[in-house]
Structures are given as C-alpha cells and as structure tokens.
Amino acid sequence: MSQAILTRFEAARSVVRDAAALAMKMRPAPGGPKGTQKSAQDWLTETDGAVEAFISERIGTLFPEDGFQGEEEGRTRTGSLRWVVDPIDGTSNYARGRNRWCISLGLMDGDTPVAGIIEAPMLGETYTAVKGHGAFLNGERIHASPVTDPASSLIEMGWSNRVPPGVFQEKIDAILNLGAMPRSGGSGAIALAEVACGRQDGYLEIRINLWDVAAALVLLDEAGAKVSPFLRDGGLEDGIHILAAAPGIADALSQAVGVSLK
C-alpha cells in the first residue's frame, strides 16, 4: 500500500476521533426520538449534517486533491482517491439516545476500498483497516468467526423501508431454518464490523448504500470474511443487497438467503 494512503489513514483517524467528540457533545438524551423522520424508521438529526460538514472540511483542508462523498450532501468533490462518509450510521439509535451508532469513513482508490475507520464512541470501540495491513479493533488484530455449524451461528439482518413487504420475514425465516439466532441492531456499519471481529457470524441487508459499507468492506476483507460482490453488482451508484459471513458458514447462509458470495 502506498505511503500516500497510509498518511491519509493516520490523519483520518484523528479527524474521525474529533468528529466522534462532536457527535457525543450533540447526542440526545435517552427518550423519544429527536430529529426529523424522513420516512418510516428513517431519521435525520442535526448531528448528521454537522458531523459530515466537519469531516468534509477537515479532509478538504488536509487533502484538497481528494474526492469526497457523504450520505447527506452526496459527491461534493472529485479525485482519484475518494473519501466516503456516513456521519451517523444508526441514526434511529442515536436519535433516541441509544449507544449503537458510529461514524464510518472509508477511503477508495478509484473503485477499490483501501482503508476504513468505524468509530463507535458510546461503545468505546474503533475498528480500523488498511488494505494489506490487517483489520483491528482498538489496536488488536481481529478475524472472522471460526464457527462452522449454522446451528451455532448468530446472524444479523438489517431492516429498511425500501424493501418490499414480506422480504424481511422471508429472509429471517430462512435464517431461522438454519438453526441460527437472528437479530437486528440498527447499524449496518457496526453489524459488518462485528462480522469482521467474530462477534457474529453473518450480516444480511437487502438494500444498503456505499456510505454504509465503504469502511467495512476493507475490514471484512482483511479479517477473512466472505462478502457478496457489492461493488461489482451496482453498490457504487445505488443501494443494493450485501451479505457478509464467516467462512465456515458462508456457503450455507448464502444458499439459504439466496445471495451469492464472491
């Protein structure tokens, strides 16, 4: 990996840390959701815009030649190296004062994810990865789960109002039929990171966007997880499905939910 990417990664760690401090300062107290409801269970808070603007400005000052893409403002700058940010992943959790949310910042070289940082400040956890250099949680090397029996596995599935009625239940039933334990936690980036570190054995979401996964794709690859071809199949430009799984159950889970892996 080039020194230019490693230099950017180290600088971005500081930027994300400061952005997380801003998000913590602005976080709502526990209770009813505080924010704007864009559609069913799809929330926008003041913090989303503030954190994205903060990261965009800092990255733009440090690396003015780089592209930048955020969930809220879209592509605001172009460059062969492109930063992709989800300022608050898990906004429905954040808006209620819950802990399971994060800031996700990925770096792409053309169409290839090369570095990622996922910071979950309320959990005290920072996931980092650079292509070819391994994946880490709070500085400790991580690997996908060694589980090989689907009946011993824990599988998370993300919910989205953009998915046709019945699809969520159909896929959850398929997971249950494997004997796996299903759950849904409200943050796709954290869920994918937890597949990378072996806390869970799979994650499925039927419609998810680049900013949700740009950082996690590097983590998953470096941790040895199996992942569906998200970028190849259209994820660069639109929301599509993603499946990530521990190698030992990947084929069984892929067949059960009808999503092909690489």
Q: Which of 5, 45, 72, 91 is catalytic?
A: 91
Ligand-binding site membership of 71 (annotated): yes
Q: Which of 72, 89, 156, 194 is catalytic?
A: 89
| 119 carries an active-site annotation | no
Q: Are β-strands 125-130 and 112-120 bridged in parallel, bridged antiparallel, or unpaired?
A: antiparallel
Would you say 189 and 118 are in contact if contact means Cβ atoms under 8 Å apart?
yes
| 86 carries an active-site annotation | yes
Q: Which of 48, 52, 66, 71 is catalytic?
A: 71
What is the distance between the terminal CA atoms of the chain, rounded to a whole angstrom?
23
| 89 carries an active-site annotation | yes
| 88 carries an active-site annotation | yes
Ligand-binding site membership of 212 (annotated): yes
| 109 carries an active-site annotation | no
Phi, psi torsion values for 106, nearest 5 degrees: -115, 155
Q: Which of 5, 59, 88, 175 is catalytic?
A: 88
- In 24-141 the beta strands, taken as DSSP E runs, fall at 36-39, 42-44, 67-70, 74-77, 81-89, 102-109, 112-120, 125-130, 135-137, 140-141
> Could you tell me the two tokens for 16?
């994300």
Residues 96, 222: Cα–Cα separation, whole Å? 33
Q: 146-163: buried (b, 16+ CB within 10 Å) or exposed (e) per residue?
A: ebeebeebbbbbbebeeb
Would you say 206 and 188 are in contact if contact means Cβ atoms under 8 Å apart?
no
Q: Which of 212, 221, 240, 242 is catalytic?
A: 212
DSSP structure class, residue 150: G
| 91 carries an active-site annotation | yes
Rg (CA), the chain: 17
Ligand-binding site membership of 88 (annotated): yes
One-character DSSP codes across 184-232: --S-HHHHHHHHHTTSSSEEEEEEE-HHHHHHHHHHHHHHT-EE--TII
Q: Which of 86, 194, 201, 222 is catalytic?
A: 86
Q: Binding site residues for Mg(2+), as ranges?
A: 71, 86, 88-89, 212
The catalytic residues are: 71, 86, 88-89, 91, 212
Q: Binding site residues, as ranges?
A: 71, 86, 88-89, 212
